[in-house]
A and B are shown apart, each in its own frame.
Chain A
Amino acid sequence: MEQLLDGFATALTPTHLLLAAIGVLLGTAIGVLPGIGPAMAVALLLPVTYGMEPTGAFIMFAGIYYGGMFGGSTTSILLNTPGESAAVVAAFEGNPMARKGRGAQALAAAAIGHFTGGIIGTILIVLLAPFVAKHAVDIGAPDLFAVMVLAFIAVTSVLGASRIRGFASLLIGLALGLVGLDEMTGQQRLTFGSLHLADGIDIVVVAVALFAVGEALWVAAHLRRKPFEPIPVGRPWLSRADLKRTWKPWLRGPVIGFPFGAIPAGGAEIPTFLSYVTEKRLSKHKDEFGKGAIEGVAGPESTASASAAGTLVTMLTLGLPTTAVAAVMLAAFQQYGIQPGPLLFQRESGLVWALIASLFIGLTLLLVLNLPLAPLWAKLLRIPRPYLYAGILFFASVGAYAVNADIFDLLLMFVIGLLGFGMRRYGLPVLPAIIGVILGPAAEQQMRRSLQLSDGSLTGLVNSPMAIVVYVVIVVILFFPLLKRFLPKPPVAPAEEREKVDA
């Protein structure tokens, strides 16, 4: 505790405060701009920070990291073009909200979600760092595969009205996920001899193409037939009803996000999706999901930030980067001759605690910066639709091109965009395809890794306690509807509840 207070003392000096502010501003800007993710931003700034002392540099990097999370969901919500993979899920409900004129609320729910998720995550760093360090390495491929199976079961709840169309869409996603070099053996799959496809198709490209490009084409095809009206911009603040619906998702987010961030190969995509499905299940407003339910923004965003905090735990205590940004920050530590790992907290305790303190400060700065901006950003949608969608297409193209400065990515985005247009034309939901791209490769990798570890024996899939627990949970979920028949029926919820929902 005393160390943390010392940390605050270090982090609150004017220089460090200024660096934190620069970091969060840069991070937000980078998150909003397409193409440059926080990982690249930190890498580009590395040489600039050589001259600085390490504490200041890391305070700035942490600001960029969290800032990127805040900014990333902005474009996701307003323009349906996620700038990075952690923000993909935010578009699911955030964009429908924005189109209903509730963009400001969606942005506010996301910002407060990031803040709560980040704060709780950072508190968990302080409390649990040694514990997590000890147990994160016990999580292996079989456990991760079990979680993937659970996630696949959860996909059924986003399939939409028609199961067949939902599954078709999921299969499209899984097929897209297969493209690339097989990671285990180095064989080529669906690459058609193109080197550009060897690394697979990036989830951000797929999401931007299916969401934004498909949508823009669809709107363009219907523009003449529909009355021309700009998207309304409603009241800027969260109403009491909104708050009532969001405070629980905000608090639930870290429970899912933090452990995922801390385990190797956890990342932010799968926990945000799991959070989305959980919120959908627990919500009293299930019918609103897909049309702009605020819980579906609040939960995943809080999860995303908490997973960012979890990532820092494993990076600091084990020297183990679980995301691209963490990998770059790890490289930065090494540049200063500091080796993150089990001895870091003893050797560099001043630096570590200042960094942790600066996370709290950075998050507060971000909230202060982003809340007032929410209504301003939302006004962006007042632009008439033709201009707006032209702008979206422009941003999407710049984003796809800027990542690798490669024309191929641009073509790929438009081809998948056409696919998205076709899917809309034939009533296929886009969501399951995105989930397929996220889950497919990850599940395959973990399953094959587990089987390889056990030298091909099937017991390798169930030989750890955590995997068994997860499978039991899956069985319970699957058979719960059957069990329910034998249980006395709960009283039917009063019908007025639904009518209270503001449209």
Chain B
Amino acid sequence: MSVKVWVAVAAALLAVLLVPPLLTPGADSGESNQVRALRVLVPNSPGGGYDITARTAAKAMEDADLLRNAEVFNLPGAGGTVGLGRTVGERGNGKLIMSMGLGVVGAVYTNKSPNSLLDTTPIAKLIEEPDIVVVAKDSPYTSMQQLVDAWKANPGTVTVGGGSAPGGPDHLAPMLIAKAVGLPPKTVNYIPFDGGGELLASVLGGKVAFGVSGVGEYRDQIQAGTLRVLAVTSKDRINGIDAPTLQQSGVDVEFTNWRGIVAPPGISPTDKAKLVEVFQNLQKTPQWREALQRNGWTNAFAPGDEFGTFLESENKRVATVLKDLGLA
């Protein structure tokens, strides 16, 4: 068997396996309101929050015939700002959208990204996920008030764990709480963990005094009684979790992690309207409702410009906190 045959076989294999994903389907849009050949950029790695949101939404929209030939691809890096840079760079491209969320807002500051989310075209806010303030079952703290008292007395030793890097949602929430109870954010001893999972181990093992993270990964532990939730950060109580909101516990903070969709700047008004409409229609599909239920997400739909206003206010809120910490 000659070398050439082997090389040819290898080359053929490679061509078959690698070429299709590198090419974009180049279909033009039809007359119906179905969007074709949309590319969805996910600015974090497979399995991350934006990834699951994007893939779930794309699947639901394809099943409901709102989309055809949608392609979800990942461009992770620098808390989502690498993907943001790409999106902002594709000015006028009405066939690209980016899945994003609160984390990207903070990452823009911590990474000193030259591009801001305010440069993009906001399409829709999709979902919300509240954070919880959580301790192990044998922790001395049984109420938010107790925790706050101990925290104010000794901010250095009452350590806070969170599942995100500085600038991310789990970092912002305790900083906002600290500010609200009169503790300078700089004194907060925040310990970042690589995701909610790693944080969970530290909360369970009593390594950190308390943790702040999304509720998703913790439901089972809460039900099993190994974790105690002191408060939820959303405006209303959460179904199935026996804990007051922060406001009910005397801390004037309302905070939710949210995710949404933005498009490149300078896209045509028709393209924008079409994209907003697709996501509006997504709300009505049973597939999406089921996905919300399955993932424990709260529907928080806000179309185009409404989302834009929200994005601006979130941007301001994040910037103030990070400025206090010297990160922005």
Q: Which residues of A contact B (CB under 8 A)?
A: 33, 39-40, 42-44, 46-47, 50, 136-141, 181, 183-186, 188, 193, 195-196, 198-199, 264-265, 314, 318-322, 324, 327-328, 330-331, 334-337, 339-344, 380, 382-384, 387, 391, 398, 402, 404-406, 449, 452-453, 455-456
Cross-chain pairs A/B with CB under 8 angstroms, 12 sampled: A39-B46, A40-B74, A42-B47, A198-B82, A324-B45, A330-B197, A335-B56, A343-B224, A387-B3, A402-B18, A455-B157, A455-B159
User: What's the Cα separation between A78 and B213 when bound, in Å?
Assistant: 44
Cβ-defined partner of B51 (8 Å) among A43, A186, A334, A449: A43
Known: A140-B207, A343-B224. A449 touches B45 (CB 8 A): no
Cβ-defined partner of A405 (8 Å) among B75, B113, B191: B75
In the complex, the answer to whether A265 meets B194 with C-beta atoms within 8 Å is: yes
Interface pairs A-B: 7 shortest CB-CB? A341-B220, A43-B46, A328-B47, A198-B78, A186-B166, A137-B205, A339-B220
Kindly list chain B residues whose C-beta atoms are within 8 Å of the C-beta of A33: 17
User: What's the Cα separation between A46 and B112 when bound, in Å?
Assistant: 34
Kindly list chain A residues whose C-beta atoms are within 8 Å of the C-beta of B202: 137, 140, 264
In the complex, the answer to whether A342 meets B221 with C-beta atoms within 8 Å is: yes
In the complex, the answer to whether A398 meets B55 with C-beta atoms within 8 Å is: no
Kindly list chain A residues whose C-beta atoms are within 8 Å of the C-beta of B189: 452, 455
With A42-B46, A199-B76 given, name 7 new contacts (CB 8 A).
A46-B55, A47-B58, A136-B201, A186-B166, A327-B197, A341-B219, A452-B189
Kindly list chain A residues whose C-beta atoms are within 8 Å of the C-beta of B79: 198
In the complex, the answer to whether B204 meets A341 with C-beta atoms within 8 Å is: no
Known: A181-B165, A265-B194, A343-B220. A40 touches B46 (CB 8 A): yes
User: What's the Cα separation between A459 and B323 when bound, in Å?
Assistant: 32
Within the complex, the shortest CB–CB distance from B307 to chain A, in Å, comes to 24
Cβ-defined partner of A449 (8 Å) among B58, B85, B191, B223: B191
User: What's the Cα separation between A326 and B296 when bound, in Å?
Assistant: 20
Q: Binary interface profile of B, 126-168, with partner A (CB < 8 Å = 1, else 0)?
A: 0000000000000000000000000000001101000001110
Q: B294 on the interface (CB 8 Å rule)? A: yes
User: What's the Cα separation between A193 and B10 when bound, in Å?
Assistant: 40
Cβ-defined partner of B159 (8 Å) among A137, A328, A335, A453: A453
Within the complex, the shortest CB–CB distance from A65 to chain B, in Å, comes to 13
Q: Is the interface of B mostly helix, strand, loop or mixed?
A: helix
User: What's the Cα separation between A90 and B58 when bound, in Å?
Assistant: 39
In the complex, the answer to whether A181 meets B59 with C-beta atoms within 8 Å is: no
In the complex, the answer to whether A183 meets B81 with C-beta atoms within 8 Å is: no
Known: A50-B59, A384-B3. A452 touches B159 (CB 8 A): yes
Known: A43-B51, A47-B59, A334-B295. A265 touches B82 (CB 8 A): no
User: What's the Cα separation between A43 and B216 when bound, in Å?
Assistant: 18
In the complex, the answer to whether A138 meets B205 with C-beta atoms within 8 Å is: yes
In the complex, the answer to whether A137 meets B18 with C-beta atoms within 8 Å is: no
In the complex, the answer to whether B52 meets A341 with C-beta atoms within 8 Å is: no
Kindly list chain B residues whose C-beta atoms are within 8 Å of the C-beta of A193: 112
Q: Binary interface profile of B, 36-79, with partner A (CB < 8 Å = 1, else 0)?
A: 00000000011100011001101100000000000001111111
Kindly list chain B residues whose C-beta atoms are within 8 Å of the C-beta of A405: 22, 73, 75
Known: A186-B110, A404-B74. A195 touches B82 (CB 8 A): yes
In the complex, the answer to whether B295 meets A343 with C-beta atoms within 8 Å is: no
In the complex, the answer to whether B191 meets A453 with C-beta atoms within 8 Å is: yes
Q: B306 on the interface (CB 8 Å rule)? A: no
Q: B247 on the interface (CB 8 Å rule)? A: no
Within the complex, the shortest CB–CB distance from B72 to chain A, in Å, comes to 9
In the complex, the answer to whether B110 meets A318 with C-beta atoms within 8 Å is: no
Q: B198 on the interface (CB 8 Å rule)? A: yes
Kindly list chain A residues whose C-beta atoms are within 8 Å of the C-beta of B56: 335
Q: B27 on the interface (CB 8 Å rule)? A: no
Q: B208 on the interface (CB 8 Å rule)? A: yes
In the complex, the answer to whether B200 meets A318 with C-beta atoms within 8 Å is: yes
Beta-carbon nearest neighbor of A29 in chain B: B17
Known: A198-B111, A453-B191. A324 touches B157 (CB 8 A): no
Q: B92 on the interface (CB 8 Å rule)? A: no
In the complex, the answer to whether A198 meets B81 with C-beta atoms within 8 Å is: yes
In the complex, the answer to whether B111 meets A321 with C-beta atoms within 8 Å is: no
In the complex, the answer to whether B201 meets A264 with C-beta atoms within 8 Å is: yes
Q: B8 on the interface (CB 8 Å rule)? A: no
Known: A198-B78, A335-B295. A39 touches B45 (CB 8 A): yes
In the complex, the answer to whether A185 meets B166 with C-beta atoms within 8 Å is: yes
Kindly list chain B residues whose C-beta atoms are within 8 Å of the C-beta of A195: 77-78, 81-82, 85, 111, 113
Q: B324 on the interface (CB 8 Å rule)? A: no
User: What's the Cα separation between A180 and B178 when bound, in Å?
Assistant: 28
Beta-carbon nearest neighbor of A195 in chain B: B78
Kindly list chain A residues whose C-beta atoms are within 8 Å of the C-beta of B113: 195
User: What's the Cα separation between A196 and B192 when bound, in Å?
Assistant: 21
Kindly list chain A residues whose C-beta atoms are within 8 Å of the C-beta of B159: 452-453, 455
Kindly list chain B residues whose C-beta atoms are within 8 Å of the C-beta of A44: 46
Q: B217 on the interface (CB 8 Å rule)? A: yes
Beta-carbon nearest neighbor of B157 in chain A: A455
Beta-carbon nearest neighbor of A141 in chain B: B207
User: What's the Cα separation between A382 and B226 when bound, in Å?
Assistant: 58
Cβ-defined partner of B200 (8 Å) among A39, A319, A387: A319
